[in-house]
Structure 1
Amino acid sequence: MAGQDLLHTQPRPMHWLATATAISAVVAAASFVQPPDATATTSHNATTGGRHPSAAPDPGKVTFPVDCGPNRLDVVKKASGDLDGDGTAETVAVVRCHTGAGSPPSGVYVLAQPSERRAAPRIVATLLAPAQQRSVQTLSVKDGAISAAVLGYSTRDVPRCCPDVRKSLKWQWKGGKFVQSELPAAVSTRRA
Structure 2
Amino acid sequence: MQPLAGQDLLHTQPRPMHWLATATAISAVVAAASFVQPPDATATTSHDVRVAQSSVAAPDPAKVTFPVDCGPNRLDVVKKVSGDLDHDGTTETVAVVRCHSETGTPPSGVYVLAQPTDPKAAPRIVATLLAPAQRLSVQNLVVKDGTISAALLGYSTLDVPRCCPDVHKSVKWQWQDGKFIQSELPAAMSTERA
For structure 2, the 5+ residue unaligned runs are 1-45
Instruction: Give 1:162 shift.
Output: 1.6
Q: Which residue of 2 aligns with 1:75?
A: 77
Task: Tell me by how many angstroms 1:80 deviates.
Answer: 0.2
Counterpart AA for 1:75: V
Percent identity over the alignment? 77
**What secondary structure, in the 3-state scheme, does the structure 1 residue paired with 2:128 have?**
strand
The higher relative CO (CA closer than 8 Å, separation ≥ 6) is in 1
Aligned counterparts of 1:139 and 1:146: Cα–Cα separation in 2: 7
- Structure with greater Cα Rg: 2
How does 1:133-172 map onto structure 2 within 5 Å? 133-172=135-174
Partner of 2:121: 119
CA offsets per residue over residues 110-148 of structure 1, 9 Å max, x none? Answer: 000011111000000000000100010101110000011
- Mapping of 1:1-192 within 5 angstroms? 49-50=47-48, 51-52=51-52, 53=54, 54-185=56-187
CA distance in 2 between partners of 1:169 and 1:49 (Å): 32
- Give the C-alpha shift of residue 173 in structure 1: 0.2
Shift of the alpha carbon at 1:56?
0.5
- Structure 1: gaps spanning 5 or more residues: 1-47
Q: Distance in 2 between matches of 1:103 and 1:157?
A: 15
Equivalent residues, number: 141
Amino acid at match of 1:152: G
Distance 2:95 2:171 in 1: 15
- The residue matched to 2:173 in structure 1 has which SS? strand
Q: Equivalent residue of 1:49, what SS?
A: helix
Would you identify which runs of 4 or more consecutive aligned residues in structure 1 move more than 6 Å?
Answer: none
Amino acid at match of 2:60: D
Identify, as 1 or 2, the structure richer in helix: 2
- Measured after TM superposition, the shift of residue 64 of structure 1 is 0.2
